[in-house]
């Protein structure tokens, strides 16, 4: 989970972001997807702009093979990559959650911005044989309205989407037509006295 070779792919519009293929080693992605499909402790959450199944990695006993993927060294390497890419200083605090969307579920336009909370996020997509017919596109917007759509991405298996959270980071997920759409969400936090490098 290292993005150091992606500097040239960083896009600034409509907010700083990039996409990377091969987010994990192939066997890691298969192990993680199998766990999400078979044994993960999903709970339904209903909120104002979405309905999905989710759980936090905090306080649960991960299978050893899953825990190894998210080892302290792996997360530290990812943190350093995000710091280098986005020219930011991040604290050691990290929050990891898993999301699952099923048929008919959708995430409406939002920006994830809460002052003093998460500042950067990495989404790892883990989806078996996903096509446009499945729906569930990750959509980016320049404003908080549907007609401002600027780009849309299929959540292809083992791809990652990294972005800076701000009042401008408007995004959404289109309705799931079929299948189960899995995402690991890794959130980082700015150092309180951060200065742009």
CA dihedral 109, 164, 12, 98 (to 10 degrees): -60
Query: In the structure, what pLDDT confidence band is assigned to residue 178 with cuts at 50, 70 and 90?
Result: very high
| Mean pLDDT of the residues in the chain | 94
Section 111-118 average pLDDT: 96
Band of the pLDDT at 189, cuts 50, 70, 90?
A: very high
Give 147-161 pLDDT, tens digit per residue. 999 999 999 999 999
pLDDT computed for residue 192 by the predictor: 81
Between strands 138-141 and 107-110, the pairing is unpaired
pLDDT at 17: 97
**Res 9: pLDDT:** 85
Overall average pLDDT of the 43-62 stretch: 95
3 state SS for 68-107: HHCCHHHHHHHHHHHHHHHCCCEEEEEEEEEEEECCCCCE
pLDDT tens digit string along 72-103?
999 999 999 999 999 999 999 999 999 999 99
Distances (CA, A) of 193 to 86, 127, 158, 187: 16, 38, 34, 18
- Segment 126-130 shows an average pLDDT of 95
CA 42 to chain CA mean position, Å: 17
Quickly state the pLDDT bin for 197 (edges 50, 70, 90).
Answer: very low
Instruction: Give the Cβ contact number of residue 21 at 10 Å.
Output: 9
Two structure tokens written together for 196: 């742009």
pLDDT at 59: 87
| pLDDT given for residue 2 in this prediction | 64
Token pair of 166, please? Answer: 């701000």
CATH topology of domain 4-190: Jelly Rolls (2.60.120)
pLDDT higher than threshold 70 for residue 196: no
Rounded to an integer, the average pLDDT of 113-141 is 97
% residues pLDDT > 70 (the chain): 93
pLDDT of residue 5: 61
């Amino acid at each position: 989970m290292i993005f150091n070779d992606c500097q040239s792919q960083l896009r600034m519009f409509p907010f700083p972001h990039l996409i990377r293929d091969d987010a994990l080693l192939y066997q890691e992605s298969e192990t993680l997807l199998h766990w999400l499909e078979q044994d993960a402790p999903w709970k339904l959450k209903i909120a104002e702009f979405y309905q999905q199944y989710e759980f936090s990695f905090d306080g649960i006993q991960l299978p050893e093979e899953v825990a190894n993927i998210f080892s302290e060294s792996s997360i530290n390497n990812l943190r350093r990559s995000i710091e280098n890419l986005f020219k930011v200083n991040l604290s050691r605090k990290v929050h990891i959650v898993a999301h699952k969307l099923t048929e008919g579920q959708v995430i409406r336009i939002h920006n994830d911005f809460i002052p003093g909370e998460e500042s950067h996020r990495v989404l790892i997509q883990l989806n078996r044989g996903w096509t446009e017919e499945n729906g569930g596109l990750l959509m980016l917007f320049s404003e908080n309205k549907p007609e401002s759509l600027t780009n849309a991405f299929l959540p292809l298996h083992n791809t990652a989407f990294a972005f800076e959270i701000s009042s401008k980071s408007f995004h959404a997920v289109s309705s799931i037509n079929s299948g189960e759409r899995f995402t690991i969400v890794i959130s980082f936090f700015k150092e309180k006295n951060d200065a742009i490098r």
